[in-house]
Amino acid sequence: MDKSVATLAEAVAPIGDGATVMIGGFGGSGAPIELIHALIDKGPKNLTVINNNAGNGHVGIAAMIEQGLVSKIICSFPRSSDPIAFNEAFKAGTLELEVVPQGTLAERIRAAGAGIPAFYTATSFGTDLAEGKPVETFDGKSYVQERWLKADFALIKGEIGDTMGNMTYRMAARNFNPIMAMAADCTIAQVTRIAEPGAIPPEQVVTPGIFVDRMVEVAEPRQEEILIREGAVYP
Amino acid sequence: MTNALDDIKLNNDQIAWRAAQDIEDGAYVNLGIGFPERVAQYTVKGRTPVFHTENGVLNFGPAPAEGEEDWDLINAGKKAITLKSGAAFFHHADSFAMVRGGHLDVAILGAFQIAQNGDLANWSTGKGGIPAVGGAMDLVQSAKRVAVLTDHVTKHGDPKLVERCTMPLTGVGCVTRIYSSLAVVDIADGHFWLREKVPGISFDDLQAVTGAELKTEGDVLDLIVSGEGAPV
């Protein structure tokens, strides 16, 4: 078994028009910038993107929007230090937005990965974001039904991966990456180093390889935050 | 009225200081982005609360020196942070299991409006624009204690403590304590209960800038910010 692929272009090759794509990261932390930019180079259209945010500056998801790849974003917080790409597309009506409370977003993703089609949560009860959703009372408290959130692809970023797909993450760059890996039909990971099986002690594996389909090495990944501070624009 | 209030009201650091006095040793605490983050600066000496951030860190510390940032190590406000010894990383579903499973002792947030039944509006003005909710709806429904830091009135002098919220709700019946620029107010049994007020304002003048009845039981204490480490 060897899940590694040689190039970023090869890694994102299966992603076509109309796909739903989960993208890991929280702001720039854990964002698979190189995979996103490879996807922009490929240029599929009409994508639904699932991320906590909706892009920042002119790189990463913001660049996907500017390059016309995205028709819908599902996120919890479409604001950032420089949200112009999202704001302009949203105001122009070319980009649909679904706002989901952050914990509900995470749990919908986790539920999809665990094969749970729906669950109940207290979050959003009595608010506009619960409109139209079934409500049930359990032990005297009201809960809102939420459904799983699946994707065709997940683009994620890790620290060390082995050729069987086992992965670790660096610091708080973990965030949505491990749960998105579970919720997509095809999970594509970029890691700083691809190692042989056994290089990661089994106790330290965070994402077991069963959740990962393709892995590409990006030895010196860029940080979105630093790119934005440099004024970078992609492409 | 507003101008007179400006002279006696607490500033944001003083409000944050007052809220910090109620955080117990060993409490697990989530502070909202922006103004509530300041509460951490005023942690009472000898107490060691553990701060949680939505993006998957427990027991983080203050911002690093400029130039020392590691952008894989940020808080929910996307600001660089540091770690204390005994910190932990975890993924987003675990982070919100901590929130939604009722494991957090305290969540402290900002507010547009708070109603006397504990309803909170703090995520959308309802006037259009781009909606963004983040983790607020999760925090307010499930933390053991939900407190709010706020100016007592809006920039236009309108009450923020109201009978019923007119802005879109973040959560229903969730807030139990308000630390305002003029008072400390508890919410119980569908009412505002005045516990402390700044000494420069009379009860009647405070009631006049509050949008629902302020009830009292026993003494109303003076809200005084002083002592070692207190902001001026």
Q: What is the ipTM of this complex?
A: 0.97
Query: Are residues B92 and A102, on separate chains, in Cβ contact within 8 Å?
Result: yes
* Preferred mutation among A22, A26, A133 to probe B, highest tally of B CBs within 10 A: A26
As a whole number, the mean pLDDT across chain B is 96
Report whether pLDDT(A172) > 90.
yes
Question: Encoding tokens for residue A141?
Answer: 């408290």
Give me the phi and psi of A150, to 5 degrees please.
Answer: -105, 165
Q: Which residues, at least 6 apart from A209, have a Cβ–Cβ distance to it below 8 Å?
A: A3, A162, A164, A165, A166, A167
For residue B34, the distance in angstroms to the closest alpha carbon of chain A comes to 13
CATH topology classification for B2-222:
Glutaconate Coenzyme A-transferase (3.40.1080)
Q: Name the residue facing A123 among B55, B91, B137 (closest C-beta).
A: B137
- Of A175, A116, A181, the closest CA to residue A154 belongs to A181
Residue with tokens 């964002």: A31
Task: Name residue A72's amino acid.
Answer: K
Task: Give, for A147, the enclosing helix (H) or strand (E).
Answer: strand A141-147
Q: Name the residue facing A99 among B93, B99, B132 (closest C-beta).
A: B132
Q: What is the pLDDT of residue B151?
A: 97
Query: Could you tell me if A109 and A74 are in contact, meaning their C-beta atoms sit under 8 angstroms apart?
Result: no
Q: Cβ–Cβ contacts within 10 Å for residue A231, how many?
A: 10
Question: Encoding tokens for residue A155?
Answer: 């683009």
Contacts of B91 in chain A (CB under 8 A): 174-179, 206
What letter does residue B227 receive in the DSSP assignment? S
Q: Cβ–Cβ contacts within 10 Å for residue B28, how many?
A: 18
Which string of DSSP letters, residue by residue, matches A124-138?
TTTSGGGTTS-EEEE
What letter does residue B74 receive in the DSSP assignment? B
Q: Does A172 touch chain B (CB under 8 A)?
A: yes
- Of B136, B56, B143, the closest CA to residue B100 belongs to B143
Query: Could you tell me if A25 and A157 are in contact, meaning their C-beta atoms sit under 8 angstroms apart?
Result: yes
- Of A13, A63, A4, the closest CA to residue A42 belongs to A13
Helices (H) and strands (E) in chain A, counts: 7, 10
CB burial of A198-210 (b: ≥16 within 10 Å; e: otherwise) equals eebeeeebbbebe
Query: Are residues B168 and A172, on separate chains, in Cβ contact within 8 Å?
Result: no
Contacts of B121 in chain A (CB under 8 A): none
pLDDT digits (tens, 9 = 90+) for B104-160: 999 999 999 999 999 999 999 888 888 899 999 999 999 999 999 999 999 999 999
Q: Does A168 touch chain B (CB under 8 A)?
A: no
Chain A, chain B: beta-carbon pairs less than 8 Å apart: 142
Q: Does A190 touch chain B (CB under 8 A)?
A: no
| Residue boundaries of the structural domains of chain A | 8-125+132-229
A126 pLDDT tier (thresholds 50, 70, 90): very high
pLDDT digits (tens, 9 = 90+) for B153-193: 999 999 999 999 999 999 999 999 999 999 999 999 999 99
Query: Are residues A77 and B132, on separate chains, in Cβ contact within 8 Å?
Result: yes
Whole-number Å distance between alpha carbons of B20 and B40: 7
Whole-number Å distance between alpha carbons of B2 and B179: 18
- Of B40, B42, B53, B44, the closest CA to residue B104 belongs to B53
Strands (E), A76-128: 96-99, 118-121
Lowest mean pLDDT among A76-85, A114-123, B3-12: B3-12
Q: Does A119 touch chain B (CB under 8 A)?
A: no
Whole-number Å distance between alpha carbons of A111 and A121: 12
Enzyme catalytic residues of B: 54
Q: Name the residue facing B134 among A76, A176, A223 (closest C-beta).
A: A76
Angle (nearest 5°) at CA B223 between B222 and B224: 100
Q: What is the pLDDT of residue B3?
A: 61
Angle between helices A102-114 and B92-100 (to 10 degrees): 120
For residue A175, the distance in angstroms to the closest alpha carbon of chain B comes to 4
Query: Could you tell me if A111 and A104 are in contact, meaning their C-beta atoms sit under 8 angstroms apart?
Result: no
Question: Encoding tokens for residue B55?
Answer: 């993006």
Contacts of A125 in chain B (CB under 8 A): 141, 171-172
Residue with tokens 């979105």: A224
Query: Could you tell me if A47 and A181 are in contact, meaning their C-beta atoms sit under 8 angstroms apart?
Result: no
Contacts of A101 in chain B (CB under 8 A): 133-138
Question: Encoding tokens for residue A229?
Answer: 């501070």
Average pLDDT of A135-149?
98
Which string of DSSP letters, residue by residue, matches A160-222?
EEETT--B---GGG-TTHHHHHHHEEEEEEEEEEEE-TTSS-GGG-SB-GGG--EEEE-SSPP
What are the distances in angstroms from CA B221 to CA A125, B177, B213, B217?
35, 15, 18, 11
Report whether pLDDT(B1) > 80.
no
Q: What is the pLDDT of residue B6?
A: 85
Q: Cβ–Cβ contacts within 10 Å for residue A87, how many?
A: 19
Query: Are residues A172 and B73, on separate chains, in Cβ contact within 8 Å?
Result: yes
Tell me which CATH code domain A8-125+132-229 carries.
3.40.1080.10
Average pLDDT of B84-94?
98
Report whether pLDDT(B13) > 60.
yes
Can you give the C-alpha Rg of chain A in angstroms?
18
Q: What is the pLDDT of residue B5?
A: 83
Dihedral over Cα of B10, B11, B14, B16: its sign: positive
Report whether pLDDT(A131) > 90.
yes
